[in-house]
Structures are given as structure tokens and as C-alpha cells.
Amino acid sequence: MQYAAPTTVDEARSMLADNPGSRVFAGATDVVPQMRSGRPEPSVLVDLKRIDRLMSVAHADGHWTIGAATPTSELTHNGEFAAMFPGISEGAGLIGSDQIQNRSSLGGNLCNGSPAADSVPAMIASEARAVIAGADGERTIPVGDVVTGPGQLSLSDGEFVVEFEIDDAPANTGDAYVRTTPRTEMDIAIVGAAVRVTMDGDTCTDARVVLGAVAPTAVRVPDAEAALVGSSLDDDTLAAVAAAASAAANPINDKRGTVEYRTQVAGVLAKRAAVLAADRAKGMEANS
Amino acid sequence: MSRTHITCTVNGEATDFLANPATSLLDALRDELGLTGAKEGCGTGDCGACSVLMDGKVTCACLVFAPEAEGRDLLTVEGLSSGDGAEGDHLHPLQQTFLEGAALQCGVCTPGFLVAAKALLDNNPDPTETEIRYALAGNLCRCTGYDKIIRSVQEAAVQLRSAT
Amino acid sequence: MTATENPKTYKWVGTRPIRHDGYDKVVGKARFAADLNLPGQLHAAYLRSPHAHANIVSIDTSAAEAMPGVKAIVTGDDFPALDITDPNHDVSINVLARGTVLYHGHAIAAVAATTKAEAQAACAAIEVEYELLPVVLGIDEAMAEGAPLANEQNYQKFVGPTDPSNIATHTPLERGDADAAMAEADIVIEREFDCAHVHQGYIEPHACVVDTGADGKANVWASSQGHFMVRAISAAVLGWETSRIKVTPAEIGGGFGGKTTVYLEPVAARLSEKAGRPVKLVMSREEVLRSSGPAPGAKLRIKIGATKDGELTAIDGWMAYQVGAYGDFAGMVGAMSVASYKFPNLKLESWGVLSNTPKTAAYRAPSAPHAAFAIESVIDDIASELEMDPIDLRLKNAAVEGDLTAMGMPHPRIGLVECLEALKASDHYQSEPAEGAARGLAVGFWFNIGEQSSATVNLNEDGTATVITGSPDIGGSRASMALMAAEELGIDVYSITPVVADTEAVGFTDVTEGSRATFATGKAVVEACRELKVELCRRAAQIMGVDEDQVAWVDGAAVSPGHGGGEGGEPLTLAAITAQAKRTGGPLTATASLNAAGAGPSFAVHCADVKVDDETGQTEIVRYTAVQDAGTAIHPSYVEGQMQGGSVQGIGWALNEEYIFSSDGVLMNPGFLDYRIPVASDLPMIETIIVEVPNPSHPYGVRGVGETGIVPPMATIGNAIKAATGVRMTSLPMSPPKVLKALDEAD
Amino acid sequence: MTQHRPFAGGDAVVEANGATVGQLIDDLDRRFPGLGDALRAGSSAGIDGEIHAEPEFVRIQPDTVVYFVAPLTGG
């Protein structure tokens, strides 16, 4: 196995094109455990962290641009970002310990392809876009279209995520991500739920509800969103959100949780995330 | 297998070594540089026994490929006592409070805890108990139940604050 | 805090000096086995079984031998076949399989090569043909009529010649008439419990470096709880005399019972012999979880009868422990560990049952935690049914000196009542639980053991001392040895250098297990010091020019009424005597060896306040107190550390730790991500109350403290969950999915 | 131990003679053939409140009660 650390996107693109069986990585927090558990070594490990574009966070022209290899600790320590997207920030901040946070990245978390990836549901809720580089140049697709199943991506060989774009949240908008894990830290979500709402006073005018770890990919829950819009998040609405989330869950039994548990808790977390997001949305109003 | 030449700073000194690309920074530190303070408890980033600072950020050396260290500034537990302008081999306040507070039993996780706690206190000189617990959640200890470790970090924070 | 003051006052015992090995451990200089590298050293790796039960039809190593860097390969055929009656038979076929693999991850072959990667690649090139055998995974399945055998070489122990069996042991214990008492009881509660396998979870994987020279002698550096044990088992597995093996104890990164046996050393020794070079063999975390010894899983049925005023009149219990692929004593101890209450009528049977899972190993008070989880849960239900305070119910029935354990032997002086009273008086118990939290408590017992220890104490010419023992220090025992020696000799604890010496530099010493090091090895240190004091007085008599019987050792110095003119005589310090050692008869040194009888049982009572999220089933520990009888706390900080560490291991066992096997016997969670030991943010501070009811069989009253702390937590937390939710959890771990399911079923 | 009772016809308590535990076992074995081997193969003894591992040569008095118990280890 060889190691390469290109310093531009183009350099990385041609390396990947020239070396079949090569693989990009950022923090290696998934790559190393996978190699240790017997996955074949790539021919070339392409380290993306020396490419400035993949290691930067910028806010301009009404949207954020986040380098795909940027350590999540950079994002969670970015006060302006965390204030606008507390849900994405807390999702990113749940990917492992401080040691992991200094290595893990939004790009890695997404492209590992795990349905339990903590940063993904809130990114989907904010309709984040992934900018993808490949042999033919660059293309931009919704984050929700990158992962097609556990460990499966829509990216072709030689393609990699360069950066994420997230439009500024509208006024009076808040998001939240909550998950359950057996431990408080160092764990993989049994269930995760992200909710983003826009509020007009006590009334919800826009909502996105996304679940993690309860289906082959993160999934949006249109029925829960429909229940929220127009409501004041009263108990009946929250019960409907929970029911819709549980209905949308299509989980598996594994070492981390049961079908029964995941289905039930998906509803609980969707409800809790909605309440938290709405409180934040109202707080945004108060602060503005 | 061709080995890569890597140049970096380790515990304040310019250092170079050879390593296979697939070698972890942890193995390079331990086997090439003889710095065996960082331990391998899991090899997958789940225990923190291999914690080192890379450009001031705490990280698991087992998750870093050795060539990634090129040009980086590394601190291991072996560099903890001599840094920060302290004379001779005076212990870092964390090392002293760990000793006085009986914060170690078998001692195999201790280097990782000391390095992670230093990273915490460098950034947050007055952490709450909860902040300490979360900052050290990536370091597993099976002997102490964490109680005396948390107390020793609290005490070191007090000492470091009063020293500045 | 310390609840009961030890009546004796000591100068050193009971103080908290910095441990002597601490400096090396905080600066990264302490040498654990994996930290050692020898010139010319090779790295070894294992080929392990991909099947949980199979005959090995053939092993072809020819392709592997031709791989780059490969220097030696061994299989089971490179070791003598021990007779089935040999006490080391099972460990010998566990180290490397012979003919049959008995669990997924069972070692089949090992390769030594220039690098670890080359060794691993060569292992992958070894071709093995298997003939699959039925896999036995569960207790019920293994005990069923006509069940396939998990291990065709297992015979039930203690019952004479039998057919091969899935039963390792069957231990019935009885007194009184439990059936009759149960029929007369005012209240009878019976419940069934189950416990998953758990692992000790020491942070340091097993590791060794072995250099077998052309002279046929092996130098072994190993991480273990007992290097004499490593020597003995390695010699047996290799078919060597013990004198061919020298084992130097490396620092040990946690054991908790899991390092009381051998996995690597004889294999590394044979590889080194074949290759003619030193061999390093280190397990990965995955190998540790798959192939070292976890604690047994268990199923238990416990029925307890009581009068309406809370007298426990009878216990009827059935306990089955899943001991893994080999016969093991673990199943015996469950019934034997019933010792906390008077129980005039008792009928218990415990079973050790085989399965195609890793050979289990000891884990802190082995087998007692399972039994305590069940019994203390049922007792708690009796207390709440009778509307009695759970401490008062336990105090009413608590065993005291002279009461019988389940084994039939009367207790010596014990401190259970004192522990219960200390908890009752504590700030924790006297305070209301926090808003939304509820409280539970439970009792734990462990026998503790004595066994063999040796100690040598050398007095140096300047009056300092070296204390040499053979007990690996797994949690501060060097400091304890130095404290006892300082107390005896009357010199500063920092003037003493405690050393853990290799197998050729100190007398035989059994494993650091059973909470025995400070008790038994400490006793040997005290005996050696006392012998030295007699000799010091003899030397002082020469210097003073008086008769030996005129000299006494007082406060760290020799005094004689006729010497020097002072009122009680001018004292001659230890340093003054050692300075003249050459003139008075030569070096001052003493050795004591013993097989220590009279280990003092240790009781503990734990109390937890928990909050349960009734929508997710998550349990949060908001306050936790551990009370334990230490006899005498030699170094209270490390006694507290044992109590806190045991508590938190128990909290992990209670809430989240478990071995999850697939239906074909493959461990699904072989890493620290999914084998979830508690992290710092899961926990509050662990408050400790040390009770001191001295053990009359130790010169300072020491009881072991290492193990009892893991016995109460599972029931403590289960009882707190019951108090919080009204639901009795009967299955470990009490993980969020199980708690939520139980809550839903109770609605 | 209860599992040894079959040797002694079901009795839990028996009287025997000897100046050491070993002699006591020999006496028991004469009366209950096989019990000696069973006790030596897997027993410790509780004597005067102390548990002795491998108690063969421990001296006992005429009125001493010896409790044969399973050998204990620990973690």
C-alpha cells in the first residue's frame, strides 16, 4: 500500500484515476478499524487533509461551504455555525471522543455509508449539498442522494466529496439532532432523529424530519413534517409526529438494538427533536 | 516494501524516521522512536490509550498513518514533564496530581489520560466536572472508576490557574 | 471516609504515600510487556478458527512457510499431548487446538516472521480443512437430554468415571429443610434470572516476549497476574522442566482475574526455539475479546421464603453457569458464595455447563456476582412486599461470626452488620434522592483466599531497605508492602524500595488473585521484617556490649536499659546497626515463605440513585456509594480505588456489557465500540466508606479488598430501577432495549 | 461438601480420628472407601475459622471441627 497526500483537488483526481483500487481518506477513523478487521488494503491511500479546499469552513453569499475533510471539532468550535445550525453541530459533535473529533469529518461520516452516521440527518434536514469531484469535473447533489444503502454510495470510482454547501437558515428557524446510545459517549446511535422547523410565532410554517439508524439510509419522514406544519407542536401533533416516525422506521435487529426498540424510540426522538428545534427557532426570533 | 522518510517534531525536538505507509503513527513512535509511553489498547480509536497531541490537538495515534506526521508537531507523555519551560524533569502538574491523588492503578491508560487532560486544560483552564468527564470520555480506564482521575484533573486545573 | 476507626494506631499503615512505581507510570517509562523489544526480535501472529466447533482434518503450512519473512510455524503437533487427567490438559489444548476447535477464535497455528504483517499474511496462507460439528451455545441446549457434546473430552468432575458430558460440575448444598420452611413461610418470592457473558476488559491486551536460547532455556517477559503461574503452565504445555524457564514480570495493564492463566507464552517459546530468535506475541483487542477468557453467563432460579416480620427462613436456588468450552470450577462457586444471611434452611445446586464459546476465566469474585444479582433482587422484593426498609431487613438477617456459610463452615469475625450500619448512617442514605431519581442497595460477599507467598527483605548499609516479593502489582500492592515493612522496621516508607522480582530472584509465589496479595504476601513481608528485627537486636547487643535478651526493638530502634545511660537506654537506630553490619556478622536479610491460612471474608454494601427515561429505557446513575469492610486499609487511597473500580465494572455489567453471539457462535461485538465498558461521562463520583473490622488472622488485620466490590452493583442498580419504575429487571445487562420492553410489558 | 455425602451414606457430619487432617482423611477413607481420594482431589479445609489450602499436614485437636470445602480461587 502507498500513501499520497495531494495538495489540490485536481492532483487528487488524477491520482485516483491513475490508481485503480485507491481510496481517499480524511480522519481514517473508519478506514483503520476496517483495515484491521480484514478489509483489503487499498493500493493507494489518498490523504485529503493537505488540500486547503477540503480543510476550510467559509460563510459567504448566503451559504456555508465546509471542506469535506475538515475535522468536526473545527465545526463544533465555530460559534457562528453552531448558532445557526445547532443540530448539525451537535450531530457532528457526537461522532466519538475529542480524539476522534480532531480527525472525523463530515465527508468521512457521510461516505462511510453508515445509516447511523450522526452528522447526516441534520445535514439532510437543512438540505445540504455535496460537491463531488471526479474524472469529469465536479457535480453537486443533495447530501441525501450520496448514500444508497449501508456502505453503498452513488459515487463512481474516482469520485470524492470535496465540500458541503448549506444555505443559511431562514429567520425563525431552528434545528436539533438527538440520538440514543447505551453510553453517553463513544457510541454509535441506536436511533437518531434530526428536525428542522421554521416558526411564525407559535405556529410551525416549515418542517423537515429525518431519522438515522432505522433504515438502510437516513430517511425523511414526510408524514411527520406534514403533521408539524401549521401546528403549534401541541400534544396531538407530537403524538402524530411520533407515530409517523415510528411508521417510517424500517430497522433491523443487530448488536446495537432491536427492531421493536428502534421503531418505538424513533417516534420518541422525533418528538423530542421537534420540541427542541421549535424552542431554538423561537429563541432565534427572540435574539434577532 | 518501500519505507517513507518522515520528518517531524516530537516532544520539542526535530526528528525523522522511516516507516511503511500502512504503519500507524503509534507503531512508529513505539518501534522506530522507542517512545513506548503511548499504548495500544484497541487499535481502533475506542480506548484513548495511544493519545498524543498532533499540532496541539489530541488524537489517537493508532488512527494516524505514520506518513501523516510529516511536518507535524507531536507531543507524547514522554514530553509532558519537560515542556512549558519547566526546569529539569519537573513533573507536569497533572502528573503530580495523578500521583498524589492515586489516579492510577495498573497505569496502562495513564499516559493517554495525561495527554488528553493536558489538551483539555490547554483549551479550558477551568472546566466543570461534566466538561472533564466528556473531554476524557475517549479514554477508557478499567481500574479506577474514573473518580480519582477526575479529581486529579480538577486539582491540576486549580494549580495551573494559580500558577498563571 | 473511614467509618470505623481501627482500634490500633499506626505510624505508616493507613497513610497515603505516593506509590513507589508511580513516577515511571506517569512519565511513560513503566515497561509493560508490549513495550519491550529485543535485538533480532520476530513478531508472531495466530491463525484462529473461523468455526465454533469443528474437527481439524488437515493443516497444510507449506505455502505459509514459503512466504516472505517467515521464520517459524507451530501447530498443536509441536507440543506434547497431556493426559486427560493432567491439571494442565485443558489449557494445553486451549493454547493451540489439537484435532478439534472448540470455539470461534480458538488458536490453530502461530507464525513468527520478521514483521507482524508478514506473520499475519502467512497465517492467512495456512490451509486448514475442517469437518463441522454441531455448535452448542446455550445452557438449556447444553443440558437437554441427548444434547450434542460441546467438548468430547469433558467429564463431569468429582463423580468418578462417567461418559463425556456437557456438565463440568454439579454442586448441591443443603442444610435444614428448605421445602418445609418454604411451605410455612408467610411470603415466598421466586424469580428467574439470566446474565450474559462479560469480559474483564483490562486495557492492556495479553503480551509477551520470549527468547529461547540455544541452551534450551527460555527467557520470558510477560504481563500476567502471576509469573510463577506462567512458568508452571508454560513448562507443562511445553513438556519442559520449570528450570528451563525464567519469567520476568512486566508491568501488568489490568487483569481482574483474566490474567490468571496462559495463552501466549508457551507458543512464543516454541516459536523462538524453532526460529532461534526472540519472539514477540501480542494479542489485538479483537483477539482478547474472542479468544481470552470472559466470565461465565448464567441462568438462575431463586426462591426465598420469609416470615411476615422479615426473617428469611429458607432459600432454594438453582444456578447454572456457562463456563465455555472446557470443564471449569466456575459453576461450583455460585452456590458456595451464598453467605450473607443466616438462612436456617437452604437448598442450592449450582452447575457448570459447557458451550462452544471461549474458555471462561476468573473475573473479580468469580461467580458470586451472578448469584448476588439474583438473591439480592429477590430479597429486595421481599422487603418492598413487607414494606420494610431494605437495610433493616438485611440487618435483621445479616450473618455474623459463627453463622454458617452455604458451604457449612462458620464465618470467622466479619463486618457485614458494620457495613450495613455505615451505609444507614451515611450522608447518601440520609439524603433524599434527587428529583426524579430512586434508590436501590445490595450486599456482596467474597471469601478471599490465602495461598503461597514469599518475601525477602534486604536491609541496605545506609538503613534503607529493599522488599522483594513475587506478587505482580496490579493496583498499588508495592506501596502496601512498603507501608507494612515501614511499620515493622520503623523506617520511612520512602526509604523502602518494593520490588516484584523474577522467578529466579524470589521464592515461589501464587498468582495475584482472590484479593490475596496484601493479605498473604503482606503477611510474608511482615514475617521477614519480624525475623530481621530479632537479628537487628542481636547485632545491637554486640554493638552495645550487652546480652541479646537485654535488647528490645521499640519504635524503629534497638534499646537496652543498660546502654548509653539514657532513662530507657540510648536507642540504636536501624541505620546505625546496618552501618556496622560487616563487623557484626554480615548483611542483614531475611526471607519468609508461607501458605497463608485465614483469609478474611470481605462484605460490601452498595447504594445507587438512578433515573430511568421511561421513553427510551436509559438508566442514568446519579449518585453511588460503596461501603466495604477492608479489615484494615493499609493504603486507603488504593482500597478506595479497588472499591470504585469494582463498582464501575459492576455498573458496566449491570447496564451495557455483554457478549453477543451469532447463532453459529461468532462474537458480534469484539471491540471497545460495541463491548461497552463505562466511560467517564456515564458516571458520577463513586463515594466510598471504608469499614475496618480487622481480620484476626493477619498481623495488621488485612482482608482482601480487590474483589467484593464487583458483587453488589448489578442488584443495587436493578433494585434502584425497580424503585424508580416498579419493574423488576431479571436479565443482565439491563440495557435500554430490555428496560423499555419491560416497562412496556408492565403497562 | 454435600457432593461427598454419598460416600458417607448421606451423612453431612461424621466423626473421625487423626492428629493431622491427612490422618483424618485416611480414617474416613477406611470407613468410606473412595472418600479419601475425593477429598484430596478437591478440597480445602476450614479449621478454627481459617481456610487452609491443601491441609494434609495441618495439626488438629481431638475436638476440632474440620469443614471440607471446595478449593477457592479468585480473580
In chain B, what's the furthest Cα-to-Cα distance?
Answer: 52
Tell me how far the alpha carbon of residue A215 is from its chain's centroid.
Answer: 15
The cell numbers describing C736, all together, are 435500554
Band (pLDDT 50/70/90 cuts) for residue A288 is very low
Q: Is B68 exposed, middle or buried (0-12, 13-18, 19+ CB in 10 A)?
A: buried
Interface of C with D in 544-563 (CB under 8 A): none
Q: Do A102 and B138 touch (CB under 8 A)?
A: no
> Is B38's Cβ below 8 Å from some Cβ in A?
no
Q: Is C624 helix (H, G, I), strand (E, B) or coil?
A: strand
Closest CA to A148 of A110, A192, A187, A107: A110
**CB–CB of A88/A110 below 8 Å?**
no
Among chain B residues, the shortest Cα distance to A188 is held by B46
Q: What is the mean pLDDT of residues C597-604?
A: 94
Residue-wise pLDDT tens digits, A106-133: 999 999 999 999 999 999 999 999 999 9
Q: How many CB atoms lie within 10 A of CB C385?
A: 13
Q: Is the pLDDT of residue C2 over 70?
A: no
User: What does the mean pLDDT of chain B come to?
Assistant: 94
Distance from CA of D25 to the nearest CA of C (A): 16
Band (pLDDT 50/70/90 cuts) for residue C475 is confident
Q: Do B99 and C680 touch (CB under 8 A)?
A: no
Residue appearing with cell numbers 480543510: A55
Residue appearing with cell numbers 498513518: B65
Q: Do B102 and C30 touch (CB under 8 A)?
A: no
pTM of the prediction? 0.97
Question: Which chain C residues have a beta carbon less than 8 Å from that of B133?
Answer: 680-681, 683
Chains that touch D (3 or more CB pairs under 8 A): C
Q: What is the reported pLDDT for D69? A: 83
Q: What is the reported pLDDT for C747? A: 84
Residue-wise pLDDT tens digits, A186-242: 999 999 999 999 999 999 999 999 999 999 999 999 999 999 999 999 999 999 999
| Residue C545 vs residues C192, C548, C560, C586: alpha-carbon distances, Å | 75, 9, 10, 18
Mutate to test the interface with A, among C740, C741, C744 (most CBs of A within 10 A): C740
Spatial neighbors of A286 by CB under 8 A, at least 6 apart, are none
The cell numbers describing C426, all together, are 451515611
Distance CA B111, CA D29 (A): 58
Distance CA A101, CA A78 (A): 13
Residue-wise pLDDT tens digits, A127-168: 999 999 999 899 999 999 999 999 999 999 999 999 999 999
Q: Is the pLDDT of residue C573 over 50?
A: yes
Distance from CA of B152 to the nearest CA of C (A): 12
Q: What is the reported pLDDT for D34? A: 85
Q: How many CB atoms lie within 10 A of CB D23?
A: 16
Residue-wise pLDDT tens digits, D9-63: 667 788 889 999 999 999 999 998 888 888 887 778 889 888 888 899 999 999 9
Distance CA C368, CA C447 (A): 10
Q: What is the reported pLDDT for C564? A: 67
Q: Is the pLDDT of residue C447 over 80?
A: yes
Q: Is the pLDDT of residue A172 over 50?
A: yes
Q: Do B146 and C680 touch (CB under 8 A)?
A: yes
Distance from CA of B135 to the nearest CA of A (A): 6
* Percent with pLDDT over 90 in chain C: 93
Q: Please write down the HEC assignment for all residues of D45-72.
A: EEECCEEEECCCCCECCCCCCEEEECCC
A71: which DSSP letter? B
Q: What is the mean pLDDT of residues C16-40?
A: 97
Distance CA C329, CA C324 (A): 11
Residue-wise pLDDT tens digits, C379-391: 999 999 999 999 9
Q: Is C420 helix (H, G, I), strand (E, B) or coil?
A: helix
A46: which DSSP letter? E
Q: Is the pLDDT of residue A286 over 60?
A: no
- Pick from C284, C656, C744: which is nearest to A183 by CB? C656
> Is C668's Cβ below 8 Å from some Cβ in A?
yes
Q: What is the mean pLDDT of residues A46-55?
A: 98
Q: What is the reported pLDDT for C408? A: 86
pLDDT, greater one: B24 or C514: B24
Q: Do B43 and A28 touch (CB under 8 A)?
A: no
The cell numbers describing D51, all together, are 481456610
Residue-wise pLDDT tens digits, C631-670: 999 999 999 999 999 999 999 999 999 999 999 999 999 9
Q: What is the reported pLDDT for A35? A: 87
- Pick from A184, A186, A264: which is nearest to C740 by CB? A264
Q: Do C37 and B130 touch (CB under 8 A)?
A: no
Among chain A residues, the shortest Cα distance to B57 is held by A102
Q: Is the pLDDT of residue B162 over 90?
A: yes
Distance CA C312, CA C340 (A): 11
Q: What is the reported pLDDT for D1? A: 55
User: What does the mean pLDDT of chain C come to?
Assistant: 96
Q: Do C595 and D54 touch (CB under 8 A)?
A: yes
Q: Is C295 helix (H, G, I), strand (E, B) or coil?
A: strand
Residue-wise pLDDT tens digits, C247-276: 999 999 999 999 999 999 999 999 999 999
Q: Is the pLDDT of residue B3 over 80?
A: yes
End-to-end CA distance of chain A: 53
> Is B152's Cβ below 8 Å from some Cβ in C?
no
Residue appearing with cell numbers 499516559: B111
Distance CA A180, CA A188 (A): 9
